[in-house]
Structure 1
Amino acid sequence: MAIKDRKERDKLDRRKLIIESATRLFLEQGYDKTSIRNIADDIEYSPATIYLYFKEKDEIFFIIHEQGFDILNKAFSQHMDIKDPMERLHAIGHSYIRFAMENPDYYDLMFTMRAPLNEIACNEKWDAGDHAFQFLVNTVTECIAEQQIAATDTYLAAMTIWSYAHGLVSLYIRQRFQSMQMGDDQSIRKMLDQSMEYFLHSIKV
């Protein structure tokens, strides 16, 4: 292997190691407690070495937030073979809720925190988020075409459905339902699914 090729491979390996460490620390202790220094200590590098590969912490977290979208998009893609668009819409809604409940830290980073925004702004298009939203838009488009939901504006309908689901899971992640003593965790999770069903039925023709 040529020296240039080996150096490039080593560079990619170090970058991958940094991301893996940052992801593990983030999932273990959250965004605020995951610093460049903590990542450097974890992989026995100096902080200066980390800065050779990433200009700031949020650049790392932009990549982590994309990993979260990979998980979500894979969950959505499992429903692509559902021919009935309304049935598919229900499946998407439940997958979204399940993803948030099972991956609360990823969800916060993807949809609540400001951390990735600077990096998103540097790109012409937010590919990770757009791909997930487009899956919803395409399904809603089919529902409207088949007159299964009472809507004429596809993006307005998709945004409304997304906002409803986001509201549910945000209250869950922030433990607002638990604070209101609405039951144990299993009961609350069941209510979230039921609420999503209730909402989707309410917009059905």
Structure 2
Amino acid sequence: MGIKERKEKHKEDLRQRILDAAKELFLKDGYDATSIRKIAEKIEFSPTTIYLYYKDKADIMYALHQEGFILLGTQFAVLQHVHEPFERLKAMGRVYMSFALNNPDFYELMFIMKEPIEFVKAHCHGEEWEEGEQAFGALIMTVNHCKEVGYFTKFDTTAFALNIWSLMHGLCALKLQGHLDHMASTKTEIFAGDDWMEKTFSSFVQMLEGLK
């Protein structure tokens, strides 16, 4: 590896250290309580160094937001080889759940904390929010493919996609924030003995099948 390549690798490694430290602090202490100085202290660099990479903490938050959406989009992209659209739709639901459970830190930054979307509204316009558009676009495209083969033809595509996303998000948020497990442990006469995230998802799939 040459000098130029080593310098580029050092820059990328430092950029990732900044993002990892910021993500931990945002989730642990909250966005408002996290400062550039605190991020710098965590990685043992000066605040000036961080400003070489990001103009402020909102810029860092948005970079994390982008990183999460790129990861989710990559996982959705793998499903494009699933030609039967309803099977692809079900697989997207499972990928979304898996992403949320395996990446709870990113999921909170992407879909629960308000600061990233406030940055998007302030600084991005329409097609400029490429990563978010691609993720929702994959769902829209799959619902459209379902309609092309005769499924869900009575429903508006965008509204139907939003309903699917809303239920999946609600289910994932209930699980990640502990509400689902709390109900299962305290209301055993209702929630006894099952994986209620899986059971709820299966029930949702049955409902979608009934709408075909």
Same fold (TM over 0.5): yes
Aligned match of 1:192 in 185, 194, 197?
197
Contact 2:180–2:196 (CA<8 Å) still a contact in 1?
Answer: no
The alpha carbon displacement at 1:28 in A equals 7.7
| Aligned counterpart, 1:64 | 64
| Aligned counterpart, 2:108 | 108
The alpha carbon displacement at 1:130 in A equals 0.9
With structure 2 as the length reference, what TM-score do the two structures score?
A: 0.80
* Separation of aligned partners in 2, 1:98 and 1:182: 22
Are 1:143 and 2:140 matched, yes or no? no
Amino acid at match of 2:55: K
- More RCO (CA 8 Å, sep 6+): 1
* Separation of aligned partners in 1, 2:8 and 2:98: 36
Q: Which runs of 5+ in 2 are unaligned?
A: 187-192
Contact 1:69–1:132 (CA<8 Å) still a contact in 2?
Answer: yes
| Aligned counterpart, 1:169 | 172
- Three-state SS of the structure 2 residue aligned to 1:78 is helix
The alpha carbon displacement at 1:84 in A equals 0.4
Q: Which runs of 5+ in 1 are unaligned?
A: 1-5
The alpha carbon displacement at 1:54 in A equals 2.1
The alpha carbon displacement at 1:128 in A equals 1.1
Cα 1:151–1:203 shift into 2, 3 Å: farther
* Separation of aligned partners in 1, 2:162 and 2:148: 17
| Aligned counterpart, 1:133 | 136
Cα 1:12–1:56 shift into 2, 3 Å: farther
With structure 1 as the length reference, what TM-score do the two structures score?
A: 0.82
Counterparts of 1:46-85 in structure 2, within 5 Å, are 46-85=46-85
| Aligned counterpart, 2:23 | 26
Post-superposition Cα deviations, 1:37-72, rounded to whole Å, max 9, x if no partner, equal 232123332113323432221210111111111211
The alpha carbon displacement at 1:150 in A equals 5.5
* Separation of aligned partners in 2, 1:161 and 1:11: 42
Contact 1:137–1:155 (CA<8 Å) still a contact in 2?
Answer: yes
Between the two proteins, the alignment pairs up a number of residues equal to 196
**126-135 or 20-29: bigger deviation:** 20-29
* Separation of aligned partners in 1, 2:180 and 2:120: 32
Are 1:90 and 2:90 matched, yes or no? yes
Cα 1:159–1:99 shift into 2, 3 Å: same
The Cα RMSD (Å) is: 2.8
Post-superposition Cα deviations, 1:88-127, rounded to whole Å, max 9, x if no partner, equal 0000001101110111110010011112124312012321
